[in-house]
Amino acid sequence: MSDAAVAYNSSKSGVLWQVADLPLPLPTLDPSTPVFAAAVRTLQAQHGLPADGKLGPGTLAALREPPAPAAAPVAPLNVTEAALALIATATAEANKGVREVGKNAGPDVEKYLHCLGMTKGSPWCAAFVSWCVMTSRGLAKPPKWCSGSAVSLFQMSGHKAIKVTPLDAGYQTKVKPGYIWSRAQDAAAADAARRGSWCQGHTGIVVAVDAVGFHTIEGNTNAAGSREGDGVYRKTHKWSDAEIIGKTVGWFDPATV
């Protein structure tokens, strides 16, 4: 999402609109972030508006219009709604400033691990993603494809999932908010993982995408981007970063699994 949309929304918050009065998931998001602008863009597309990510008077009026009566029972969450729910869940955890208490431990970290039956002390980036998927869908346990392994998440999502890899032409335009990102420890391992081999890696939830790169919320990382970090962090990965793109196994849409 462009910096212009982020700056615009920041300037209108508390002036043109109050965050608490907006439709979900906007009240759960920070207006000064690309995540908020990405959510606005999605809502604009749903209402047939130009999707520029700016919450101006026209968009505001459209969002406040009462929905048309449903001609049939409401269908289950579609991909866009599922993506927004996943982003909102991950954002809420990031806003809490989750940090470990001890090594790979602490109330929130153990909450993520326990959803997969994993014990305190285990690496937890994939458990964080799995917990967010489970919670965003209101499930009692994660879907069967969820795993405590970052690379296995991508592999176990199966052939039906919409997937994108750095080998795809124009892959930058195919990655969407709400996708799950998996990377390996190096480019050779990433290539092998795309062909089914297992390796250690790292994973996170894509919350926004723009011309610069893809923005994520990740567990078990830190400010430096380690896969053995101490908390939940917001990260930006640039399309121009050959090292990180080389390590990337791929991205997939969990709503299509």
Quote the pLDDT of residue 226: 81
Neighbour count for residue 81 (Cβ, 10 Å): 18
Helices 79-96 and 125-136, packing angle to 10 deg: 120
What one-character DSSP code corresponds to residue 84? H
Comparison of pLDDT for 226 and 69, the residue scoring more: 226
d(CA 150, CA 123): 10
pLDDT digits (tens, 9 = 90+) for 234-245: 999 999 999 999
Q: Say if residue 125's pLDDT is above 50.
A: yes
What one-character DSSP code corresponds to residue 188? H
Q: Tell me, what amino acid is at 96?
A: K
Quote the pLDDT of residue 70: 45
Rounded to two decimals, what is the model's pTM? Answer: 0.74
pLDDT band at residue 104 under the 50/70/90 scheme: very high
Neighbour count for residue 122 (Cβ, 10 Å): 17
Neighbour count for residue 145 (Cβ, 10 Å): 18
Quote the pLDDT of residue 224: 82
* Cβ density class 206-242: b for 16+ within 10 Å, e for less: bbbbbebbbbbbbbbbbeeeebebbbbbbbebebeee
